[in-house]
Structure 1
């Protein structure tokens, strides 16, 4: 995808089976509020996928070249519907060990690319 980038972000859920099941349910097809989905798309995020292994989440973001995380954060902070979603999700989430305790998602560092190998 020309002019795009992929970002990988990590987050842990609270390791409680009922909470994990509820979190999965909130992310099922059609369950995420329309305002949240619209905000993601409007920010220049082409695709977003979240994978879970146990309580660990991995988010893959494919963004347009003009994607600006600071602008997305500012827009989200001014939107009451997004803030309500974030407050609800905060009850399920926690930073990964060794991550920034003031950040929700921790950016992963890419250390390998098959296309760079001989």
Structure 2
């Protein structure tokens, strides 16, 4: 849990093509994501979302509120033609990770370390 809610970290890959990287980033620039897609994100009680890229690897960090239900989000997205058009466009750039399940684009990452859970280190000088 964070101050905003629950943190989710998800991974996906881009097709390994620098031109695709540029186009994908352009589609995610401020104001470039279709309003219907942004509305669907907010409607699902996703309170914050960021995507980072390192080479072809994408990392999405989401903060969700108590109303977030991944299954309900999938159903709503499947019924929204604007979101489906966006997903088809993103399919031009994204590819599944080798260990992704069928029809799974973004794969959750497991947290293996938290500084908050570590004992305080003794200060040495």
Q: Which ranges in structure 1 are unaligned for 5 or more consecutive residues?
A: none
CA contact (8 A) 2:36 2:83 kept: yes
Detail structure 1 runs of 4+ shifted over 3 Å in the superposition.
none
Question: 1:69 deviation in Å?
Answer: 0.5
CA contact (8 A) 1:95 1:101 kept: no
SS at match of 2:38: helix
* 16-25 or 94-103, larger mean C-alpha shift: 94-103
**1:67 corresponds to:** 68
Q: Which ranges in structure 2 are unaligned for 5 or more consecutive residues?
A: 120-125
Q: Number of residue pairs matched?
A: 118
TM-score by length of 2: 0.90
Which protein shows a greater Rg? 2
TM-score by length of 1: 0.95
CA contact (8 A) 2:4 2:47 kept: no
Seen in structure 2, the aligned counterparts of structure 1 residues 3 and 94 have a Cα distance that, compared at 3 Å, is same
